[in-house]
Structure 1
Amino acid sequence: MISTVVWGTGNVGRAAIRAVEAHPALKLAAVLVHNPDKVGRDAGELGGLDAQLGVRATDDIDAVLAVSPRAVVYAASGDIRPDDALADIIRAIEAGAVVVTPALYGFYDQRTAPPELRDPVLAAIADGGGSLFVSGVDPGWGNDVLPLLISGLGTTVDVIRCQEIFDYSTYDQEDSVRHLVGMGHPMDYEPLMLAPTIPTMVWGGQIRLMARALGAELDDIRETMDRRALDATVSTRTMGEFEAGTQGAVRFEVQGIVDGEPRIVIEHVTRIHSSCAPDWPTPPDGGDGAHRVIIEGRPRIEVTVEASDEGANRSAGGNATAVGRLVSTIDWLVDAKPGLYDALDVPLRPAVGRLGRRER
């Protein structure tokens, strides 16, 4: 079995522990944590499982990497610590591990990753013999393999639109929601994630990757942005109150321009409460999240995916499916040559050996 480390136990890491434990080709070898309160706790508890897994969380990175695990699911955040995340991942690659992660936006299309990111990773691969595959947590498959698969069902394709529709009120990552995205801040506050060029920095790689797969020449990548204020103060289960008049919803697009028109579009519609911007797209049944791909052409094709996990929580379901895509590729990556991979390199992997298998 493939010895696999889960590095980080937040929203993504909890799902990663469950995914690794359920995969018949993988063996959970260690769990790395940053919070000292989590050190010594069983991985099953940290992953939200009912069973003890016999793996105790540790913060000793050197000790974990010293035994050369074959794979690492890097689930720690890269949003507010991109340099630290890159350094961690390089350490794991130099130790010979296959690393899968959503943390490094610049590698969504690895061929166009900036040299300051790409060169040290390639050097680590050459030195240590590991590999890297990055796919987004929003989730990546909704902005690459799913729209590309569906596009092949059409006779003509005018526009490919990928939507994430998300209610943050159930999300448990307050720093990102309030400060990176700006929910609850005054409308004149400019959150980092919404600043000009930042959406392109994050999602532009997926636009370029889809254009490459479609054989399309991009003229440009453009952004649109719209923000709405809360009409009334709202309270959330995980992050407290968000006051009336502060930012309550955001809608933006990253547009791949082909022949002067937006032809490949990644759109995010996010709210802190369902009452804000009710005229914007919503999940089909009024739930808290959905991912949708719309192919405008002949025929017009629309596919909506709603996933729930940790009860009926669809924000957790989105994380779980993103993690499922990453974890399912580990055995393929282990058998492949050491290298830097993206979503066009790594095939979709069926749930071999997991049909009917129950979570512990």
Structure 2
Amino acid sequence: MISTIVWGTGNVGRAAIRAVQAHPALRLSAVLVHDPAKVGRDAGELGGLERALGVPATDDIEAVLAAGPQAVVYAASGDIRPDDALADVVRALRAGAVVVTPALYPLYDHISAPPECRDPVLAAIAEGGGSLFVSGVDPGWANDVLPLLISGLGTVVDAIRCQEIFDYSTYEQEESVRHLVGMGRPMHYEPPMLAPAVPTMVWGGQLRLMARALGAELDDIRETTERRPLDATVSTRTMGTFEAGTQGAVRFEVQGIVEGEPRIVIEHVTRIHPSCAPDWPAPPDGGDGAHRVVIEGRPRIEVTVEASDEGENRSAGGNATAVGRLVNAIDWLVAAEPGLYDALDVPLRPAAGRLGRKQR
């Protein structure tokens, strides 16, 4: 079995522990944490399982990597610490591990990644013999393999739209929700995630990757943003109160322009409460979130995917599917040559050996 560590135990890492534990080819060998309060706690508890796994969490990065894990699921956030995240991933690659992560946005499409991000990774792969696959937590499959697969069902493809529709009220990453996205902040506050060029930095790689797969050339990448205030104060289960008049919803697009028209679009519609911006797209059943792909052409094709995990929490379901895409690639990457891979390289395979399989 492939010895695998999970690095980080937040929204992504929690799902990663469960995914590694359930995979018949993987063995959870260690869990790395940053919070001293989590050190020594069992991975089963941190992963939301109902039993202990006999793997206590540790913050000793050097010791864990020195043990020579074959794979690392790097689940620590790269939102507010991109340089640290890159340094961590490079460190794991130098140790010879296959690394899968959603944290390094520029490497969604490594061919267009800036040298300051790509070169250290390639050097670490050459030195250690590991591999890296980066796929988004938004989730990545909804902005690459799913739309590309569906596009192959059409006769004429005029445009592709990928939508994430998400209710942040069930999310458990308050720093990102309030500071980066601006939920609950005054409307004059400028959220870092919505600053000009930042959405392109985060999602532009996925547009370039899809364009490359479709044989299209992007003339430009454009951004549009719209924000709405809350009409009333709302309370959330995990992040407290959000006051009336503060930002309650955001809608933005990152548009890939082909021959002067937006032909490949990634759109995010996010709210802190369903009552805000009710005229914007919403999940079809009024749930917490959905991912939708629309192929405009002949025929017109629309596919909506909803996932739930940790009970009926669809925000956790989105994380779980994003993690599934990454974790399920590990055995393929271990068998492949060392290298830097993207979503066009790594196949999406059936869940072999897992039909009806209970979490071990």
For residues 120 and 49 of structure 1, the distance between their equivalents in structure 2, rounded to whole angstroms, comes to 36
Query: What letter matches 1:44 in structure 2?
Result: G
For residues 357 and 41 of structure 1, the distance between their equivalents in structure 2, rounded to whole angstroms, comes to 26
Deviation of 1:125 after TM superposition, in Å, equals 0.4
Deviations 1:101-126 (A, max 9, x none): 00000000011110000000000000
Q: In structure 2, what is the equivalent of residue 214 of structure 1?
A: 214
Deviations 1:313-333 (A, max 9, x none): 000000000000000000000
Aligned-partner SS, 1:281:
coil
Deviation of 1:42 after TM superposition, in Å, equals 0.7
For residues 181 and 344 of structure 2, the distance between their equivalents in structure 1, rounded to whole angstroms, comes to 29
Q: Number of residue pairs matched? A: 360
Q: In structure 2, what is the equivalent of residue 150 of structure 1?
A: 150
Deviation of 1:211 after TM superposition, in Å, equals 0.2
Alignment of 1:61-100 (within 5 A): 61-100=61-100
For residues 266 and 333 of structure 2, the distance between their equivalents in structure 1, rounded to whole angstroms, comes to 27
Alignment of 1:49-128 (within 5 A): 49-128=49-128
Deviation of 1:36 after TM superposition, in Å, equals 0.6
Deviations 1:138-183 (A, max 9, x none): 0000000000000000010111000000000010100000000000
Deviation of 1:248 after TM superposition, in Å, equals 0.3
Q: In structure 2, what is the equivalent of residue 335 of structure 1?
A: 335
Query: Are residues 1:291 and 2:288 paired?
Result: no
Deviation of 1:51 after TM superposition, in Å, equals 1.5
Q: In structure 2, what is the equivalent of residue 304 of structure 1?
A: 304
Q: In structure 2, what is the equivalent of residue 251 of structure 1?
A: 251
For residues 204 and 166 of structure 2, the distance between their equivalents in structure 1, rounded to whole angstroms, comes to 20
Q: CA RMSD in A?
A: 0.5
For residues 51 and 241 of structure 2, the distance between their equivalents in structure 1, rounded to whole angstroms, comes to 34
For residues 142 and 268 of structure 2, the distance between their equivalents in structure 1, rounded to whole angstroms, comes to 12
Q: In structure 2, what is the equivalent of residue 267 of structure 1?
A: 267
Query: What letter matches 2:348 in structure 1?
Result: L
Deviation of 1:231 after TM superposition, in Å, equals 0.5
Segments of 5+ residues of structure 2 without an aligned counterpart are none
For residues 265 and 347 of structure 1, the distance between their equivalents in structure 2, rounded to whole angstroms, comes to 23
Deviations 1:167-206 (A, max 9, x none): 0001010000000000000111001000000000000000
Q: In structure 2, what is the equivalent of residue 138 of structure 1?
A: 138
Deviation of 1:137 after TM superposition, in Å, equals 0.2
For residues 192 and 264 of structure 1, the distance between their equivalents in structure 2, rounded to whole angstroms, comes to 24
For residues 106 and 68 of structure 2, the distance between their equivalents in structure 1, rounded to whole angstroms, comes to 26
For residues 105 and 325 of structure 2, the distance between their equivalents in structure 1, rounded to whole angstroms, comes to 16
For residues 33 and 284 of structure 1, the distance between their equivalents in structure 2, rounded to whole angstroms, comes to 37
Query: What letter matches 1:125 in structure 2?
Result: I
Q: In structure 1, what is the equivalent of residue 229 of structure 2?
A: 229
Deviations 1:76-128 (A, max 9, x none): 00000001100000000000000000000000001111000000000000001
For residues 157 and 296 of structure 1, the distance between their equivalents in structure 2, rounded to whole angstroms, comes to 6
Q: In structure 2, what is the equivalent of residue 36 of structure 1?
A: 36
Deviation of 1:63 after TM superposition, in Å, equals 0.3
Q: In structure 2, what is the equivalent of residue 14 of structure 1?
A: 14
Deviations 1:317-355 (A, max 9, x none): 000000000000000000001100000010112111111
Deviations 1:20-57 (A, max 9, x none): 00000000000000011111111111100111111110
Deviations 1:279-317 (A, max 9, x none): 000000000100000001110000000000000000000
Deviation of 1:18 after TM superposition, in Å, equals 0.3
Deviation of 1:359 after TM superposition, in Å, equals 1.9
For residues 84 and 199 of structure 2, the distance between their equivalents in structure 1, rounded to whole angstroms, comes to 21
Deviation of 1:16 after TM superposition, in Å, equals 0.2
For residues 22 and 66 of structure 1, the distance between their equivalents in structure 2, rounded to whole angstroms, comes to 25
TM-score by length of 1: 1.00
Query: What letter matches 1:238 in structure 2?
Result: T
4+ aligned runs moved over 3 Å, structure 1: none
Query: What letter matches 2:125 in structure 1?
Result: I
For residues 144 and 346 of structure 2, the distance between their equivalents in structure 1, rounded to whole angstroms, comes to 12
For residues 22 and 350 of structure 1, the distance between their equivalents in structure 2, rounded to whole angstroms, comes to 15
Aligned-partner SS, 1:284:
coil
Aligned-partner SS, 2:262:
strand
Deviation of 1:358 after TM superposition, in Å, equals 1.1
Deviation of 1:9 after TM superposition, in Å, equals 0.4
Aligned-partner SS, 1:16:
helix
Q: In structure 2, what is the equivalent of residue 27 of structure 1?
A: 27
Q: In structure 2, what is the equivalent of residue 167 of structure 1?
A: 167
